[in-house]
Structure 1
Amino acid sequence: MVVAAPALAELREVCQPQAKLQSRNGEHWAGRLYMRRISLRTTRQLVRTSVSPNTLTWLMVVCGVGAGAALMIPGLTGAVLAAVLFQGFLLFDCVDGEVARWKRQFSTAGVYVDRLGAYLADAALMIGAGVRAARGGSELWVSVGLATALGVVLLKASTDLVDVARARSGMAPADEESTQPRSQGIATARRLASIFKIHRVTNGIEASLVLLATAVADAAVGDIGPTRYALAAIAVITWGMVVAHLASILSSSRLR
């Protein structure tokens, strides 16, 4: 028997709760801008099948890690494929939760794999960028890519470890109000970062688009220089953000 697809309005009410979409840390800007429109229509078809949310989460991981591997392919082909795969990563990141809400199939394993996938995908992209930048030049660029990947992982871990620390101390999860730094200087620096958005290049979705743009520039000038400059800039921003984020956490109420 063919199961009828639910109405989009009904699906949206269940699968895309406004509390999550409007949360500052709960939704990527690309999700709000366009991907949630695409994901809802994809979810509408998937809920008619037996596919599980965890399967979709694993597909997200494959797309993210695959993007890093694709970036190692020379020329525009690799950069385009990496950017497309990261869009697939974002799509499955939206769809797995939507299917879980509709089917009411929630699992701790799914949450774990989702977080693990975010670590692996962003790190893989930076490693792929390092291998790409090293082509025809110094192997030092591989080390730059690895260092950037480590910084990205530390950024994510420093956020997740707040929840670990609070849980082990018997505290409830931190709310958004507690993330506000108590230091005026750090609060000002955070506002400036929010205005200029440079921290976004530490995220794989934005980084894949930046690296696609630099691949176009590489092709135009006939040299890998633009990609190297971009990777060096991402590395500096990432490690600057590691220090700033740690200071922001320690100066806020998240650990109190």
Structure 2
Amino acid sequence: MPTSGERPRPSVAAIRDVAQPPGHLERKNGEHWAGVLYMRAISIRVTWLLTKTPVTPNQLTWIMTLAGVAAGFVIALPGLWAAVGAALLIQVYLLLDCSDGELARWTGKTSLAGVYLDRVGAYFTEAALLVGLGWRASAVLPDWYTVLGVAAALGAILIKAETDLVDVARAKGGLSTATEASVAQFRSGLLGLGRRILSATKFHRIVQPIELSMLALVAAVIDLAMGDLTATRVLVVACAIAAALQTVLHLVSIMASRRLG
């Protein structure tokens, strides 16, 4: 029971109404499948606990980034338990990525700085995990697997930069943020069909932290069974190829769409 004059703690349902508004989880490009599947059910309870602490949304975002970068360092270590630890750290990253926005919406502390830090955290995490995976796959440091890991990390950063630079270009031209409709509209029907086919394969997700940490864990189990690093090395090569293809195809997709006006 709250003492006299103490504001009662809001319920989880009350926070959910504000922090996870209707339609928020159904955003086509804004919500990760893992968030919808299980993490949002957990994060809203963590957000509820955080409402009575002095922790700010931006502080959560900093911790989120540290967890993601730490996963990159951990995955670089040998052994199955390193892969398990990295996967768990990425789950912490995902949890905080959900909770920082929820806490910001509940407290009314949404800000451009928060959006910026969230993007920086995503950049750092993807790059760190790919570099760490390349390091893990290397027999002699550095070797070609180290190079491929760094190349994949560079590709992942470029893909995100290509997306973000659309809004930069539109802002410089006095236009508002690109709509989802403009993303789906192509000047060529053949290119639009090609994009839909590639999107259906979901191959682009191989370099994203959540999927990559899970694949790295599976590869570590296979490596343990085989007694070598073949599975991890195959994964690194696949990531490098996927990142290179996405960098080119994503740029073509942007130029061929109506996102730039």
Q: What's the counterpart of residue 114 of structure 2?
A: 110
How do 1:47-126 and structure 2 match up within 5 A? Answer: 47-126=51-130
Determine which of 247, 252, 255 is the counterpart of 1:247: 252
Aligned equivalents of 1:17 and 1:217: distance in 2? 42
Aligned residues of 1:131 and 1:142 also touching (Cα < 8 A): yes
Determine which of 148, 151, 157 is the counterpart of 1:147: 151
Aligned equivalents of 1:101 and 1:32: distance in 2? 18
The code of the aligned residue for 1:30 comes to A
How do 1:127-146 and structure 2 match up within 5 A? Answer: 127-135=131-139, 139-146=143-150
**Identity among equivalent pairs (%):** 48
**Deviation of 1:84 (Å):** 0.5
CA 1:218 to 1:110, structure 2 compared with 1: closer, same or farther past 3 Å? same
Long gaps (5+) in structure 1:
none
The code of the aligned residue for 2:216 comes to L
**Deviation of 1:185 (Å):** 2.4
The code of the aligned residue for 2:192 comes to A
Q: What's the counterpart of residue 188 of structure 1?
A: 193
- Length-normalised TM-score, structure 2: 0.94
**Deviation of 1:136 (Å):** 5.0
Aligned equivalents of 2:76 and 2:163: distance in 1? 29
Structure 1 window deviating more from structure 2 (1-10 vs 199-208): it is 1-10
Instruction: Determine if the alignment matches structure 1 residue 157 to structure 2 residue 165.
Output: no
Long gaps (5+) in structure 2:
none
Aligned equivalents of 1:145 and 1:91: distance in 2? 26
Report SS of the residue matched to 2:115: helix
Aligned equivalents of 2:162 and 2:230: distance in 1? 32
**Deviation of 1:3 (Å):** 5.6
Aligned equivalents of 2:159 and 2:22: distance in 1? 27
Determine which of 219, 226, 229 is the counterpart of 1:224: 229
Cα deviation, 1:147-167, whole Å, max 9, x if unaligned, reads 000000000000000011111
The code of the aligned residue for 1:115 comes to R
Q: What's the counterpart of residue 178 of structure 1?
A: 182
The code of the aligned residue for 1:166 comes to R
Aligned equivalents of 1:48 and 1:138: distance in 2? 48
Q: What's the counterpart of residue 10 of structure 1?
A: 14
Q: What's the counterpart of residue 203 of structure 1?
A: 208
**Deviation of 1:195 (Å):** 2.0
Aligned equivalents of 1:18 and 1:219: distance in 2? 45
Aligned residues of 2:71 and 2:129 also touching (Cα < 8 A): yes
Aligned equivalents of 2:67 and 2:141: distance in 1? 28
Aligned residues of 2:206 and 2:239 also touching (Cα < 8 A): yes
Aligned equivalents of 1:13 and 1:171: distance in 2? 32
Aligned equivalents of 1:116 and 1:207: distance in 2? 19
Aligned equivalents of 1:70 and 1:4: distance in 2? 41
The code of the aligned residue for 2:34 comes to A
Aligned residues of 1:39 and 1:95 also touching (Cα < 8 A): yes
Aligned residues of 1:72 and 1:128 also touching (Cα < 8 A): yes
Report SS of the residue matched to 2:106: helix
Aligned equivalents of 1:203 and 1:104: distance in 2? 30
**Deviation of 1:8 (Å):** 2.0
Cα deviation, 1:48-99, whole Å, max 9, x if unaligned, reads 1111001000011001100100001101111111111111111000000000
Aligned equivalents of 1:196 and 1:106: distance in 2? 35
